Amino acid sequence: MPPHAVGVDLGGTNLKAALVDRDAGLVAQTRRPTEADRGPAHVMQRIAACVAEMMDAAPDDAVAGIGIGAPGAVSWDRSTVSKPPNFADWDTVNLRDGLQARLDTTLPVVVENDANVAALGSAYYGAGTTPESFIMVTLGTGVGGGIIYQNKIFRGSTGGAGEIGHMTIDHEGPYARSGVGGAIEAYLGQEFLTDHARDRLINFPESDVPALVDGDLSQLSPRVLHQAATEGDAFAQEMLAWAGHKLGCVLGAAVNLLDIRTIVVGGGVSAAGDYILAPARDVLPRFVVPGLRDNLQILQETLGNEASLLGAARLALEGDQAQVGTP
């Protein structure tokens, strides 16, 4: 089998694809706007175009298969994607068949949840290379998650495992969009965290954060908080520490259930690094039963978006070997 595969990262805004060499990692990349508002047929056409471009870039045009990381619910057989948020007219679409038809190929096409492919990418090429099992958390617009168990994706009963973002840490807490009270996403989701910071800014009249956004607080974001924190702003540091504390609580619950002691944190908001992760590391053991407290570690994934592309391609290379349980 040729050691190359194509990985696709299907985002609501941008569509990315890469040619991946099993050993060397990313060899080529391409991207274009997803134009998700134009419906599934259009999006599929665009995916096919990206993939064709990457296949042409492969030595001898030889690739082993195509892996796709997608939002929404992925079917157990890894062919269809249902109801991805922010995609128009998209109920359940068979990406595998659609792509094979458009590319006129019988190459395997494997679809997987986006947080799961990010976890797989981390497992093979990133912060997750050393531990054989870890919990991946992606901090972005939402809070996503994936479970790598003995170097494979743990998918659960229907392919939906790893929804850490919707685990509660306060059953009477604020509601996330999922309707779950006190879900961690209701604290760490990008808009929730930003709203929280806006509300608390009044307690920190000396903060430089308003100046960083030229007084326009609608421009506040975790990125701005991170920048301010690095410049020593006490308000920004406190907001990120508050988020990290909450993160540590939910990770404790996950460790208790899974007995997986390594957590890898990725996604845009994780760029704030130790401003979030140090408080999370501090609180984590206090939310884990004493017998499971040894060797806990929280690592930062620095691959960024590449983790998803690498993981998606690797999924195509590994096939069913990439998952725990019977497919």
Contact assessment for residue 90 and residue 100, using Cβ atoms and an 8 Å cutoff? no
In this chain, which of 6, 55, 147, 317 binds its own copies, going by CB under 8 A?
147
Contact assessment for residue 135 and residue 145, using Cβ atoms and an 8 Å cutoff? yes
- Please state the closest distance from residue 166 (CB atom) to its own copies, in A: 4
For its own copies, give the closer residue by CB, 105 or 168: 168
Task: Round to whole Å and give the CA distance between 272 and 84.
Answer: 27
| Cα separation values, 273 from 25, 147, 226, 250, Å | 24, 21, 9, 18
Residues 6+ positions from 104 with CB-CB distance below 8 Å: none
Residues 74-133 that bind its own copies (CB under 8 A): 83, 132-133
Told to check if 156 binds its own copies by CB under 8 A, we report yes
Told to check if 260 binds its own copies by CB under 8 A, we report yes
Task: Round to whole Å and give the CA distance between 204 and 81.
Answer: 45
- The sign of the CA dihedral 147, 152, 155, 160 is positive
- Please state the closest distance from residue 64 (CB atom) to its own copies, in A: 25
For its own copies, give the closer residue by CB, 319 or 325: 325
In this chain, which of 107, 278, 292, 296 binds its own copies, going by CB under 8 A?
292
Told to check if 168 binds its own copies by CB under 8 A, we report yes
Strand partners, 82: 73, 92
Q: What is the largest CA-CA distance in the chain?
A: 62
Residues 2-61 that bind its own copies (CB under 8 A): none
Q: Which stretch binds its own copies (CB under 8 A): 1-9, 121-129, 147-155, 215-223?
A: 147-155
SS3 137: strand
Told to check if 252 binds its own copies by CB under 8 A, we report yes
Q: Which stretch binds its own copies (CB under 8 A): 4-12, 59-67, 120-128, 289-297?
A: 289-297
User: Which residues of the shown chain bind its own copies in the complex (CB under 8 A)?
Assistant: 73, 83, 132-133, 145, 147, 149-150, 155-172, 178-182, 246, 249, 252-254, 256-261, 286-292, 324-326
